[in-house]
Amino acid sequence: MSTETKTETGTEISRAEVCAAAVADAFSDDGEIFGSPMGIMPMLGVRLAKLTSNPDLVISDGESLFLGGVPPLFAKGDVVEGWIPFRRVFDVVAYGKRHVMMGATQIDRHGNQNISAIGDFAQPRRQLLGSRGAPGNTVNNRTSYWVAKQSPRVFVEQVDVVSGVGPKLAREAGPAASRFNDIHRIVTNLGVFDVNGPDDTVRLLSVHPGVSLDEVRAASGFEIAGLGSGSDADVSTTRVPTAAELMLIREVLDPRKLREREVPSA
């Protein structure tokens, strides 16, 4: 599969750069809330959103400071506009003015996410991080997921452990669970999805340039709404970043090309 695409002016754009813009787009209509990324690509996308579509976004250094500027990934030293130690993150989660983009070891048809363990919870084949903040995030504030390598092992029929709660389970758990449940986007190396398919299922919104629907099907362990048996022509293509966005990604935010570690070219 090709992981590079060209703009009309002939510039080579990497798949990682398409992903960064797609992550940024997930935060474009959030307004003045805490954009809270877990991992390199979400951090790159959130900072790109702040420099382009959503300058009101509140961002942090990933440790304990709200940043007044938009420094490169992992750069030290910036204007500080606030203090956000771990305990205050939980305050903001409950307050609701937050959009987190987390990773996912597994995601299922109904948008449930697992970062806890693979296999039987009592004696897992592989213990992962633990549920971390996923159960609380998903019933309190807007939540998106980033998947660096979509495959049938990640997009599974049913997750082994429900850490992040999808809309269907939230609804079944009652109004306290569903009131603020808002699973917004799933961005992968192949495409962009939401959970607005029939019966609150994962639905394809766009495939990245150079990705075929067959590739998406082969990388999914469940049937994805909007994919069906349609041809490539029926589905929209993820937009490529503008020249200004490419400059920001390459020259300002990620000059060390950390994005390539997440989604390698070719």
Partner 1 sequence: MKPRTKQMTIDEVVGRLESGMTIGIGGWGPRRKPMALVRAILRSDLTDLTIVSWGGADVGLLADAGKIKKLVYAFVSLDSIPLEPLFGLARQNRTIPEICEWDEGMFFTGLKAASERLPFLPMRAGLGSDVLRNNPDLKLVTSPYPAPDGELEELVAVPALRLDVALVHMNRADAHGNASYLGPDPYFDDLFAMAADQVFVSCEQVVDTAGLSVDTPVQRLLLNRMMVTGVVETPNGAHFTTCTPDYERDEKFQKHYARSAADPEAWAAFKQRFLSGDEDAYQAAVADWTKEQA
Extended strands (E) in 74-173: 80-83, 98-103, 106-108, 113-114, 117-118, 126-127, 142-147, 155-156
Could you say whether residue 73 binds partner 1 (CB under 8 A)? Answer: no
Nearer to partner 1, 9 or 123 (CB): 123
For the chain, how many helices (H) and strands (E)?
9, 16
Could you say whether residue 126 binds partner 1 (CB under 8 A)? Answer: yes
Could you say whether residue 127 binds partner 1 (CB under 8 A)? Answer: yes
- How far, rounded to the nearest angstrom, does the alpha carbon of residue 33 sit from its chain's CA centroid? 16
- List the one residue out of 7, 2, 14 whose CA is nearest residue 243: 7
Measured CA to CA, the distance from residue 141 to residue 179 in angstroms comes to 10
Minimum distance from residue 225 beta carbon to partner 1 (Å): 21
Q: CB-based burial of residue 89 (10 Å sphere; 0-12 exposed, 13-18 middle, 19+ buried)?
A: middle
- Choose, by CB under 8 A, the member of 129, 218, 244, 247 that binds partner 1: 129
Where do runs of H (alpha helix) occur along 27-146? 40-51, 86-95, 134-140
- Choose, by CB under 8 A, the member of 179, 256, 257, 261 that binds partner 1: 179
Minimum distance from residue 199 beta carbon to partner 1 (Å): 16
Could you say whether residue 136 binds partner 1 (CB under 8 A)? Answer: yes
Which stretch, 17-25, 127-135, 193-201, 203-211, contacts partner 1 (CB under 8 A)?
127-135
Minimum distance from residue 200 beta carbon to partner 1 (Å): 12
Contact positions vs partner 1 (CB under 8 A): 63-65, 85-87, 90, 93-94, 116-117, 121-136, 138-140, 161-165, 169-170, 172-177, 179-181
